[in-house]
Every structure is written in C-alpha cells, then in structure tokens.
Amino acid sequence: MIMLVSISGCTGLSSTTPTAEITSDATSSLTGVPEINAGEVINFDARESTTPSPSIITDYTWDFGDGEIRMTKAGIISHRFLTPGSFEVELTVTNDNGESDSVSISIFVNAPPTIQIDIPGYVKTGEVAIIDASSSFDPEGGSLEYMWDFDKTIDSDGDGNPAGDADANDATIEVEFSEPGNHTGILTVIDDKGGISSQEWTIMVISRNYYVSWEEKTIDFSWSGYLEQGDTVSFDHNPGLGARIIYFNATLTLARDIIPIMWPEDNFSLYLDLPLTGWSTFTSTTHDNITENATAYISLDNMNERPESDYTLQSDSSATIVSNLLNQPGQRFGQGDWIWEISADQCDPDLPVDGVDPDTGNDWDLSVEFVILIPIVMETSA
C-alpha cells in the first residue's frame, strides 16, 4: 500500500505569497544610492513585484519614512521630500489572498547650501562695495559654486530673464554703482550635488556731496618768428583745457627796424580760427611803409559767464561735476584748439642799398593773454 502526501506547502513550491520589488529613478552613479535634493520629486516603481498565479496584487502601500504613508492600486508613485536627510522607503504589496511582502530602499535627500552674505550698510556712488558670501556652506560639507546677479532688473546676458544673470562667480565680489538708490541683486549658490539656494541682497547707494568753487587764472601764450614777404605761419594750442575761458587779448607786433625812415615797418595779417566753437576772425595792419608802429589786435570779453562760486552739488564723482560744468550749454565758447595764422602781407620795397632791398622780411611777436576760470571740486562729508 503506497500513500501519497503533498508537501508543497512546506517546501514553498506552491506558495501564494507575493514578492515585493522597488526601484527609483534617482539612483546615483557614484554611490548606487538614490539621491535627490530637498524639494525635488522622486518616482518609485514597484511594477516588477510579483505574486504566484492565479493570485493578483491588489494594493501597494508606501511608507516614505518622513511621516507620509500612501496606498495605490498601481505600482508607481511620486513623492516630494521637503526635509533633507536619509530616509528608508518601505513598500508592502498585498495580493487578493490577503498575503503580503515588504521591501525597502534607502533615499538620501541633499540639503541645499546655506547662504550667508556680509554686505555694507551703504556705499557712495562710484565707490567699490565689497560683498562677501564666503561664509556660506553646504551642510554635507560639499564644495560650492557662486553665481551673482548684480541687478535683478537688468538682463545683462540677454537671455530674456533679468534675474538669472551670472555677473560674477567668486565667493567675494567687488561691485560699483554709479546711481544712488537701493540696488537689489541675487546670489545663487550650488553645491556639489546640484543643491541650489538663492537669496536676494540689497545695498543702499548714496550720492556724494561736493563743494564747488572757481579759481581765476591768467595764462599767457606767445610766439616769435621771422617771415619774408608773402610767407605765412600757422600754429595751434588749447588754452581752455579743463577751464572756462572768460576773456582773451592778442597783440601781434612787427619788430622795429633799426632805421625806420630807411626801412619802414611793414604790413601783415593775423587770423584766428576756433573750429570747435565755429568762430573765426582776423585783423591786419594797413600802413604805408612810413609808420613807426605796426601792431594788430584781437580781443573778446565775456566769452562765457562767470558762474557763482562756493556751493554744493551731489554727483557720483568729482570728474562728472567738472565735465558737466565745463560742458554746460552756452558756456563752451573757446573750447578746443585755437589756430593762429600770421601772414607777411608787405615787407618791401624799402630804400634799396646798391640796388638791393636790405629789408625783405621782419621778425614778428605774438602775445596772447587769457583769463580763465578753473572749477575746484572737493568732496565733503555732509
């Protein structure tokens, strides 16, 4: 007599217990452990879980280890970890026989960098501000990258997003503002796992105060030379560089002959051209070779206004004030090169000696006096 006994339940060969399997889409290629940054979404997949036929899996229970538990009928789910740290995500699958199996997977949630910015209370226009974020750190001790946007309202890289510019990449920056007011920028810090933190910063920029006065000076320009009849000489200079010209007087004199009766003084012309101003003039002597003096004059007063002195202005720099004062509309007369031209119109005939004119040319002396005003600009504390 032979007795047949089924032992499949003991051996597990006919077990109906399901087998849970879980994977994620964020496994690190370096550690093999799923890694995400805090606030990011991770997807879990349990569709490889199985249960012996003819049973079917009816429920997937997900315990994310951060206090949240969810149940789904499908084998996929997404979850957002808001808190950094290490979490054990446990999956339990249950079939229609009420049998279950569990499996877990470890998740590392990276903490974003902590930003710390040291910024001056205020700076003046044109002054370099040092903004220091070197005390920022990664809670996990990783390295950091910095991206500074100096002005969140200006799209400096032209990508259509004014708040995402990379104007500097050092931990400490130097930035200069030419306009007063509150200037706001953005610092973005990225750690070695891609964790990102951003923080706005604002610096107050105040105007500089300058005391303005005008110093009056008299400057001279002269030229001496010899010209034959019909010769012309031309030269230029810039007497108004860094100043406002108020007045000038030019005198061109023919050097006296030793014996004026024998060799009378001669005639000449003096030309002046101011290309930048668009003004020119000339004068000439009209003597008949018997005068004892041959002199030509050009002068002009009230070329520009005499400004008030001893007052205070606000600006980003003293150079800006000086430029504005010297380029004030209606007060630029005489700026640029002054081009002088002297022509010996008539030097002979004089009384010949042995049939030869002994005085075919002369020495000429040009003397010019200028009255100018120089702006003196000094920064004040108030």
pLDDT digits (tens, 9 = 90+) for 24-63: 998 776 667 899 999 999 999 999 999 999 999 999 999 9
The overall pTM is greater than 0.75: no
Examine the domain organization and report whether 103 and 130 are in the same domain. no
Per-residue pLDDT for 2 more than 50?
no
The predicted model gives 97-106 an average pLDDT of 96
Domain boundary, last residue among 70, 90, 110: 110
Domain's final residue, options 186, 206, 226: 206
DSSP 178: S
Please give the structure tokens belonging to residue 39: 């606030």
Q: What is the reported pLDDT for 351?
A: 58
CATH of the domain at 355: 2.60.120.380
Establish if 62 belongs to a structural domain.
yes
pLDDT tier at 126, thresholds 50, 70, 90: confident
Range with lowest mean pLDDT among 20-34, 76-90, 108-122, 327-341: 20-34
Does one domain contain both 184 and 49?
no
Specify if 158 maps to a domain.
yes
C-alpha distances in Å from residue 111, one per residue of 78, 81, 137, 206: 20, 11, 11, 38
Last-in-domain residue among 206, 236, 253: 206
Residue 31 lies in a domain: yes
* CATH number of residue 51's parent domain: 2.60.40.10
- Total domains in the chain come to 3
Q: What percent of the chain is modeled with pLDDT above 70?
A: 87
Give me the residues paired with residue 198 across strands.
188
Could you tell me if 338 and 357 lie in one domain?
yes
Residues 78 and 181 in one domain: no
What is the extent of the structural domain holding 18? 8-110
Do 139 and 87 reside in the same domain of the chain?
no
Closest alpha carbon to 45 in 98, 97, 103: 103
- Distance (Å, whole) CA 163 – CA 198: 11
Contact 157, 165 (CB under 8 A): yes
Which H or E element spans position 321? helix 318-326
- Token look-up 């030097």 returns 347
117 domain-assigned: no
Q: 230 and 190 in one domain?
A: no
Q: Strands 338-346 and 311-315, how do they pair?
A: unpaired
**Whether residue 95 is found in the same domain as residue 177:** no
For residue 359, the model assigns a pLDDT of 63
Same domain, 64 and 192: no
